[in-house]
Structure 1
Amino acid sequence: MRADAQRNAARLRAAAADLFQERGLQVSLKEIARHAGVSHGTLYNLFGSREALIDEVIADLAATRLGDAARAALACPDPWQGFAGYVTEVCELQATDPALGDVLTRRFPDASRLMAVCDNSFAAAESIIDRARRDGSLRPDFTASDLLFFLASHAPLARAAAAAGSDAWRRAVGFMLDGLRAPAGTPLPAEPMTPQQINHLLVEGAAAVSA
């Protein structure tokens, strides 16, 4: 890559990182190009697509932050506290970091590196949940798919509340966690969604939002 192309690529990565974390992964590519001081065509010539730019800029950051949250949960001596801390940490990321909020809802399935991060995060959530279920502190019918469903529903409202200067999203998380303690469990009227159904739901939901 020529020196001028390397400089432009670096500007685009920096601009994308700023705007993705400020507004989410759906921010206009034209705006990213303007922020970087290059043409829209230069962005496409260097990265080819939004998904390629997301993979370049966000995948490693998401892997680090979500991985840190999962490792802290699994290292916690109390499985319930580890689970509750993980859910709260991830919900806080949704409220305060629009890019990571979009990561968790799998809105960009063609960003292959990012989807690998999502898959790893789902597997970690399964381990965190299983640990708390085996401990007897988490109701036995709660699954990682249930958590992903909650997170997908929570993301836009958490972001809106934070933007309005409110921590009300913490109340929703608190109510949800109280309802997940094993003593509070009552039979549920439906089975949890499968990972495939959840993925379909998130992809279709993202398409509907974008339409």
Structure 2
Amino acid sequence: MTPGAQHPDVPAAQPLRSDAERNRERIIAAARKVFARDGLNASMASVAREAGVGIATMFRRFPSKGELVDAVFYDRMDAYANAVATALDDPDPWHGFVGYLQTACGMQAADYGFADLLTLTFPTAKGLERRRNEAYEGMVELIGRAKATGRLREDFDPSDLVLIHMANAGVVNATEGAAPDAWRRVVALMIQSLEAPSRGPLPDPAGHDALHQAMRRANPAGGVAPRQGKNS
């Protein structure tokens, strides 16, 4: 064997690019598990431990938490956007609106991380933010259609969707384990309260800008407010 030659019984070293890609996929898989279990307050260090990689490796692959969230939830945000598209395609706008609420709230109940995702904002997760904004615009259109049919109360504001998801996330978190289907009753109560004719006027809406500010405040610099989770 010539000096420096690879021994035939020793596997050739994999290129760094392949190792890096494996680490990336391992981190994403670990983050899916950790975020689904503990929500987005889970630390980058806890994801690194679950993935079996060092924190330096974690930050080489994902320099910010927002970038990791983007990679982990992009497919779920696609599913969420598809739920909006399905609602828009429904020939009955009220039925489409109700179906959207049930589907989106069900997605929150199935994944703690996604429950948080709809109530926080991640400026560094540009793909997610873009898809969520597109879905929101679709819901604004659907809300207008549902009002035009006379089935959705006239004083419902698009920003109320954020409040609904905040409320549902709170219920999902509070009832986890003890009453995991309680969110279904809450969503049904919400839907019945939204159907016209209304029983009385609502207070003025907080408005989209104010709620977006609240979402940013709850998520400073890519972190999230503490929540009660399975490991608390």
Q: Same fold (TM over 0.5)?
A: yes
Please name the residue that 1:200 is paired with.
213
Unaligned 5+ segments in structure 2 are 1-15, 228-232
Structure 2 residue 181 is matched with structure 1 residue 167? yes
Asked which structure has the greater RCO (Cα within 8 Å, sep 6+), the reply is 2
Whether 2:212 is the aligned partner of 1:209: answer no
Aligned ranges 1:1-211 → 2 under 5 Å: 2-59=17-74, 61-190=75-204, 192-207=205-220, 209-210=225-226
Amino acid at match of 2:77: A
Q: Once the two structures are superposed, what CA deviation does each residue of 1:136-181 show, in whole Å capped at 9, x if it has no partner?
A: 1101111210121221122121233243243122111111111111
The 10-residue stretch of structure 1 (159-168 or 110-119) with the greater mean CA deviation from structure 2: 159-168
Is residue 70–residue 86 contact of structure 1 (8 Å, CA) maintained in 2? Answer: yes
Give the letter aligned to residue 212 of structure 2.
N
Percent of aligned pairs with the same amino acid: 35
Task: Please give the root-mean-square deviation of Cα atoms over the aligned residues, in Å.
Answer: 2.0
The residue identity in structure 1 corresponding to 2:63 is G
Which structure has the bigger radius of gyration?
A: 2
- The letter for the 2-side match of 1:97 is D
Question: Mind listing any 5+ residue stretches in structure 1 that lack a counterpart?
Answer: none
What is the TM-score when the length of structure 2 is the normalising length? 0.82
Task: Looking at secondary structure, tell me which structure has more helix per residue.
Answer: 1
Q: Give, in angstroms, the shift of residue 41 of structure 1.
A: 0.9
User: Secondary structure at the residue paired with 1:68?
Assistant: helix
* 8 A contact 2:108–2:169 mirrored in 1: yes
Aligned residue for 1:144, secondary structure, equals: coil
